[in-house]
Amino acid sequence: MSKPVGKPNFKPSPKVLSAVSRARFEAFSILMEVEGGKAFADDLLRGRRVTALSPQDRHLATALVMGTLRWQIRLDAEIREFLARPNARLEPAIRIALRLGALQLQYMDRIPDHAAISESVELAKIAGHQHASGMVNAILRKVAGLPKPGPLAASLSAAQLAEATAHPLWLVERWVASYGVEAARAICKHGQQQPELAVRLAGAQTGRTTGVANELAEDGIDLAPGAMLTAARRVVAGDVTSTEAFKDGRVRIQEEGSQLIAELAGQGTMILDACAAPGGKTLILAERNPKARITACEVSPARLETMKGRVAASPYAAQIDFLRADATELPADSAYDVVLADVPCSGTGTLGRNPEIRHRLKPENLARHHERQRSILRGALRVATGRVVYSTCSLEAEENAAVVAEVLAQEAGWRQIPVADVLDELSDRGQLSLECGDLLKGAVAADGSLTILPGSLGMSVQTDGFFVAILERST
């Protein structure tokens, strides 16, 4: 019987640790925490222990963690073939040591087989499983003899696509039913790729970003224009997190789809970000509305404090107020002309960036998300005098169009407006790239909402999946 997993409880001595590379040890430690279900890999990879590594080790640790999580379903299937009892429940540390080794053997061409195998064996020993080290060695030697995975076949069933791309079958079947086989294929391919890193530079609201961009160039950061937004930049090369501009808040990491949601909120004088943490959208609202009062609402005390620290380092801190509250129970005397409700969701549009979601999410979770999302949208409508933007990073209808339709059927005095009209406004103001405006408008549904599927906008625009609906008062 395997034990519950939390933070790893092993603290190897420097002598013991010398048997494995620092990158592999940190990757192993992070995967142990993620296995416990209480931490996200992306957050842990930005932690002090990883940032203290050399650039080369930091890159390897990131590739090991994210690659293992992306391919975990397929890795486990391969490992299971060589177990004496295929249905045996392995200790977490053994599972992770085997996955790390199998990932390197099957998906990382530049790592010698002997290094992948020997260091995985040593990780099992470091974690206190000396007795299992021989099994780890034997299984990985057999995995090394397997053929390397090839490109996706031209025609695959849902089951074959799920197996080939290491996605849960129930999710792939949903996507095939909702969007078709080709769209599901693009979603799955996107989920197995390292996402582009997009940033927002200080001065984006005025177009005066040259100083920060030049400073980043001097630090070895190679930037390209945003694929969707003229205010965004894509990081082509370099570690932006090591720069002073990043540390003091003059450049921040933010996916372009996330940036677009905040841009779609539009103009106002009293604005509420109803589910604000970690604060990236709040800062864009402040950028685009320099004379407005922005209220950033968050129910979690810890996330609220973290967001306060992030905002304090920005030039917009003076116009942002903070409110600790549940977005379903906003103060009755509140009144905002613009409300952004970017609600907590399943996150199925972000599996490339947050691959562990595929291992945690269950079909029954969607109904729970749906109920809370309806409550948040109702709460937003109660305090809004003008526009409400409802958004998720989910691909699931229960969390998207179904929420909006049900709430509109119960709340009088509101109508849904076409997102395409607001995209035209952004284009007219020069906020959207010329190419992307038409691509985005092509993804607007008959009800006026916008759904972006990962991989659906072509090779030039690689964004996470998201949904946006815009509501306005009709009376």
Report the sign of the C-alpha dihedral through residues 83, 87, 90, 95, in that order: positive
**pLDDT score of 11:** 60
Question: What tens-digit pLDDT sequence spans the chain (475 residues)?
Answer: 344 444 555 565 555 556 789 999 999 999 999 998 878 898 899 888 898 899 899 999 999 999 999 999 999 999 999 998 888 888 999 999 999 999 999 999 899 999 999 999 999 999 888 888 899 999 999 999 999 998 888 889 999 999 999 999 999 999 999 999 999 999 999 999 988 899 998 776 655 667 888 899 999 999 998 889 989 999 999 888 888 888 888 888 999 999 999 999 999 999 999 999 999 999 999 999 999 999 999 999 999 999 999 898 888 899 999 999 999 999 888 899 999 999 999 999 999 999 999 999 999 999 999 999 999 999 999 999 999 999 999 999 999 999 999 999 999 999 999 999 999 999 999 999 877 888 899 899 999 999 999 988 765 667 899 999 999 998 7
**pLDDT score of 212:** 85
Q: Which domains does the chain have, with CATH numbers?
A: 14-144 (1.10.940.10), 197-252 (3.30.70.1170), 258-473 (3.40.50.150)
Of 404, 15, 466, nearest to 228 by C-alpha is: 466
Q: Tens of pLDDT along 398-418?
A: 999 999 999 999 999 999 999
What contacts 24+ positions apart, CB below 8 Å, involve 280-283? Answer: 280/200, 280/252, 280/254, 281/340, 281/342, 282/307, 282/311, 282/320, 283/200, 283/252, 283/311, 283/314, 283/316
* 150: Cα within 13 Å, side-chain hemisphere: 3
* Residue at token pair 């931490």: 39
Contact yes or no for 132/94 (Cβ under 8 A) = yes
- What is the model's pTM? 0.92
Contact yes or no for 404/390 (Cβ under 8 A) = yes
**pLDDT score of 150:** 87
* 13: Cα within 13 Å, side-chain hemisphere: 2
